[in-house]
Amino acid sequence: MAIITKYCLTYKMNENEHLLINTVTGALDIIDTPSLNLINEVKAGNSDAISKKSQLYSDLQKRGYLFETPKDELALLQKVKSYSDFLYNNSFPTEFIILPTLGCNLRCTYCFEDDAQHVNHCKMTKEQLEGILKYIKEIKESHKEILEKNKQKLKIRIFGGEPLLPGNKELVIRILEFSRDNNVEVNIVSNGTLVDYYMETLVEFKDVINLQITLDGQKDIHDKRRIRADGKGTFDAICKNITKLIDNNIRIALRVNVDAENISGINEIEKIIIDNQWNKHGYVIPYFSPVVDFSGTSTTVLEESELLEGLLKSGYKTDGSSTFKSVVSPCIGYLNMFFNPHSKHKFCKTHYCGATSKNELCFSPDGLVTSCITYSGKGKHSIGTFDENGVTFDQEAYLAWTDRNVFKIQKCGNCKYAFLCGGGCPIKAIDQNGSMENVVCSDIKSTIDTYVNEVVIPTLTAGESA
């Protein structure tokens, strides 16, 4: 008896060749049409369609597409689960997201934080911050050997609200001093309007920081989306400040949040970058990220397949050769890694994101720890608390969030895309269905279809022609 795994995807390259993709093992293979016909016969119930003595049978079995019995396939999945559990049990937090305040001087139209949070300028205390830094130092010391072996640094992300509000300066400087002393990377997620207040500090600590600033399009589009509390636009101020930062050799991740309102203007943003020579000296790395709607009610949010299709039409290259170097998103981001022949990490995706895999912890001024930044400062779905003495976890909540994986979600058990998806966004599941386990499926099916047909197959075909 032979069976073809449900985790086998097939795509037509031309009349004579087809691409096989194994979503569990990561195998990619090109087969001819007669071989595909035999595979389809086995799928249809003719288990003897492929002779056990044939090279095709042997190759399909070695590559994890064919099993002699369902028990054999189950054994492979058990190995995957065991390795996933091993990785989880041996992992630890590597990125610590610190929100000195949720107060903000902007009112961006798509922000997942609400205005009530932005007008509340409650600030984290110095004592609270010291408790966080103490915990980070403990993590570093207890995992010193593995960090050194992997040449890996811990990371602090300073978030908000707007972290570079003038009133946060003492806290920001303390974080930067700690990071330099302890060899920790720092990413500051700022709207870019207030850098003058911090320029001297940013220059002093430019060896340890990366600054993320968002520019959402040409002036007329950007100024409708990223607006000040008084309703005025921010395009001119942000462009001016980006140039100042570059002149001071400060690294910037230039983010474009994309949805239906601005995707048609991607080329105009690229022109702004080139005309200002922001990408000339390597200090600016432009990238895309989708606007996300957790409630499912937005009319402008794009599915990732729509996002990918639009970006490819605008000239985006998945190999990093275009002006915009990457797309930071759950589906497209993972597929970029999955199809990258130079990627060292090829294990299938059993967890959806950093919030569900123990990698990230978020600390807000209310003294609560969350796994996902979406719930920071909202007083719900916390996994612990912190104060001047350190961090304390609610173990039940901690495990529910950080060890949410496809093996624990019933709906994922029957899905051939599960190991490319990782179980879907837990926030969407909670907001739309009331529970993390009642999943809202990601757009992985349509996204991989677009990715394979528009990126992978043309690349393979071009390689064959060269």
Token look-up 């949805």 returns 259
The predicted model scores a pTM of 0.95
For residues 120 and 139, the model is more confident at 139
The 10s digit of each residue's pLDDT in 214-260 is: 999 999 999 999 999 999 999 999 999 999 999 999 999 999 999 99
The 10s digit of each residue's pLDDT in 333-377 is: 999 999 988 887 668 999 999 999 999 999 999 999 999 999 999
Does residue 294 carry a pLDDT above 80? no
Count of residues making up the chain:
466
Give CA separation, 273 vs 103, 236, 251, 422, 450, in Å.
Answer: 29, 14, 15, 35, 28
Distance CA 131, CA 137 (A): 10
How confident is the model over 273-277, as a mean pLDDT? 96
| Per-residue pLDDT, 465 | 56
The two three-digit tokens of residue 41, written as one number? 């016969």
How confident is the model over 428-451, as a mean pLDDT? 94
Q: What percent of the chain has pLDDT over 70?
A: 99
**Count of other CB atoms within 10 angstroms of residue 56:** 16
Q: What percent of the chain has pLDDT over 90?
A: 91
How confident is the model over 37-49, as a mean pLDDT? 96
The 10s digit of each residue's pLDDT in 387-435 is: 999 999 999 999 999 999 999 999 999 899 999 999 999 999 999 999 9
CB proximity list for 183: less than 8 A, separation 6 or greater: 153
CB proximity list for 378: less than 8 A, separation 6 or greater: 117
Q: What is the mean pLDDT of the chain?
A: 94
The 10s digit of each residue's pLDDT in 71-95 is: 999 999 999 999 999 999 999 999 9
| Per-residue pLDDT, 322 | 95
CB 164 within 8 A of CB 194: yes
| Per-residue pLDDT, 231 | 94
**Count of other CB atoms within 10 angstroms of residue 397:** 16
